[in-house]
Amino acid sequence: MCGLPGCGRAATLPRPSAKDITQLQYVSTRGKAPALGFDDALLAGLAPDGGLYVPELWPHFAEATWAELAGRPYGDVAKAVLAPLIGDAIEDEALDAIVAESYAGFGHAAVAPLKQLGPGEWLLELFHGPTLAFKDYALQLVGRLFDHVLTKRGQHVTIVGATSGDTGSAAIEACRDRNAIDVFILYPHGRVSEVQRRQMTTVAAANVHTIAVEGTFDDCQDLVKAMFADAVFRERMRLSAVNSINWARIAGQIVYYAFAALSLGAPSRKVSFAVPTGNFGNVFSAYAARRMGLPIERLVIGTNRNDILARLLTTGEMTIEGVEPTLSPSMDIQVSSNFERLLFELMGRDGAAIAAAMAQFRREGSLKLGAAQFKELTGLFAGARVDDETTLATIRRIHESTGELVDPHTAIGIRAAEARRGCSATPMVALGTAHPAKFPDAVARATGIRPPLPARLGDMMTAPERLTVLPNDLKSVQNFVRTKTGAAS
Ligand SMILES: *Cc1c(COP(=O)(O)O)cnc(C)c1O
């Protein structure tokens, strides 16, 4: 059945191109690592030559295939989009189950609903997952994909990560209750908000371990890096990460661009997106959707004061500056690691040139695009920098004009969309990357209203917490990981 209640339309899901590209391989942007299938690229994360995995060629759907997907439920679009990217690395039935489970607990029946903000202006709400931010949309898949591939191979991994508060819970929710995974998240003790802490510590799953480190976020990051740098420990614990450079996360995010574009009339009608951007993972997924055949006209990159990408789009030069804290902390970045994937395309997929460019960037702190590359970049992408003051003004104005409360990251997307829409008649979709209740202080400052947590998260504020406080000391943390992980026995 097509998934619509009472509709009675028997429907076989199109799995476009899957039979043509059953062996889709992933190559490294730096050109020196062996090509891998989807499953191996998933488990590897970063390529051994320091590059990021990208598809050897982009699967491309015919217009008729996209047209067949229009009006389908989110899960159907997910399966169709992911099938050619996964190839034969995961069986169809397993993928069906993984997709169904991934979005079953989401708080909105449409999974990723569109809301109209004004004429031709739309908001794509990507905060109906378990941790109220868009990362859930890919991570819910990635955790299950990891578990499936590992279980099939009889393997187990230990995921370790550090968080300043905003993103640790998405990794925890992705890995919870997965038999082949233990997950350890380090956060700075006493330096995250109560909601952020409770989102991590109230998860009642035996394979989830939340560590409050007596130190700063930088200390937590240093501890994680040191664990990975300890080759014996890394091997023995089978350390792994689910960070934003993992190809599977990019793949999982392509789905909502397709879903939104199809809802607004694609493939016969064009659509543009505005994306509040940090590591460039989310907006790169939009680029990937376009390579797969969706008629995407423009991609607007919204940044906060940490505006390395907005500057790149006006000057053609990427120059590192210090990171300043803002009201949109998930976008406070110095270097957008996923930009390397776009650079790979701009430089004609020349791995050696990318390796040289990235080495130069690391050495000199800046990288200048050639004239042709800059022209190609700005032919699709535009940038807009939105400071904290304008972010608050946007939250206030959107509330006054539509009644909607939006979080600071989302407000940057909306403002960037307005700033770069020009006089195009193409619908412009701003991405809502976090629920307003995830950043209640900023929303209250702008509107006087403190957005409540959705009811489905209600018991989080009273549920028992599980956490371990440890000193800022590598040996103590390693000992803890060793005694708690399933791989140790
Ligand atoms: C992670 C995050 C972003 C930035 O996304 P990237 O993929 O890193 O560009 C924006 N908004 C929110 C709420 C986030 O959590």
Separation of 167 CA from ligand 1 center, angstroms?
Answer: 9
Confidence bin at 165 (pLDDT 50/70/90):
confident
Torsion sign (Cα): 142, 147, 153, 155: positive
Res 486 pLDDT > 80: no
3-state class of 179 per DSSP? coil
Q: Cα of 281 to ligand 1 centre, how many Å?
A: 8
Nearest alpha carbon, ligand 1 atom 8 = 279
Alpha helices in 22-134 (DSSP H): 38-44, 63-69, 74-86, 92-104
Phi, psi of 465 (to 5 degrees): -105, 145
pLDDT at 352 over 90: yes
pLDDT at residue 297, rounded to an integer: 98
Cα(89) to centroid(ligand 1), Å: 28
**Could you tell which of 124, 137, 199, 279 is best to mutate to test the pocket of ligand 1, judged by most ligand atoms within 8 Å of the CB?**
279
CA 62 to centroid of ligand 1, rounded, Å? 30
82, pLDDT greater than 50: yes
Q: Above 70 in pLDDT, residue 13?
A: no
Which residue puts its alpha carbon closest to atom 4 of ligand 1?
A: 278
Confidence band for 15, pLDDT divided at 50, 70 and 90:
low
CA torsion 372→373→376→382, rounded to 10°?
A: -130
**Burial of 5 (C-beta count, 10 Å sphere; 0-12/13-18/19+):** exposed
Phi, psi (rounded to 5 degrees) for 382: -135, 155
- Mean pLDDT across the chain: 93
Model confidence at 4, pLDDT cuts 50, 70, 90, reads very low
484 is an active site residue: no
| DSSP H or E run through 181 | strand 181-188
Nearest CA to ligand 1 atom 14: 330
Ligand 1 pocket, residues with Cβ under 6 angstroms: 133, 135, 166-167, 244, 276-282, 330-331, 409, 433-434
Q: Tell me the per-residue pLDDT of 198-215, one tens digit each, with 9 for 90 and over.
A: 999 999 999 999 999 999
Q: Which atom of ligand 1 is nearest to the CA of 253?
A: 7
| pLDDT band at residue 9 under the 50/70/90 scheme | very low
pLDDT value at position 23? Answer: 82
Of the chain, the percentage scoring pLDDT greater than 90 comes to 88
Query: Could you tell me the distance, in angstroms and rounded to a whole number, from the CA of residue 232 to the centre of ligand 1?
Result: 33
Other beta carbons within 10 angstroms of residue 57's beta carbon come to 12
- If one residue of 299, 409, 414 were mutated to test the ligand 1 pocket, choosing by the most ligand atoms within 8 A of its CB, it would be 409
Residue of 79, 135, 270, 438 with catalytic role: 135
What percent of the chain is predicted at pLDDT more than 70? 95
pLDDT per position as a tens digit, 44-64 = 999 999 999 999 999 999 999
Q: Which of 21-25, 234-238, 282-286, 289-293 has the lowest mean pLDDT?
A: 21-25
> Do the bridges between strand 381-385 and strand 366-368 make them parallel or antiparallel, or are there none, so unpaired?
unpaired
Domain ranges for the chain: 114-131+247-447
CA of 209 to the centre of ligand 1 (A): 24
Maximum mean pLDDT: which of 5-9, 193-197, 441-445, 454-458: 441-445
70 Cβ partners below 8 Å, 6+ apart? 262, 263, 266, 267
Cα–Cα dist 18/3, whole Å: 22
pLDDT per position as a tens digit, 426-449: 999 999 999 999 999 999 999 999
Q: Is it true that domain 114-131+247-447 has CATH number 3.40.50.1100?
A: yes
Confidence (pTM): 0.94
Mutate to test the pocket of ligand 1, among 52, 124, 135 (most ligand atoms within 8 A of CB): 135
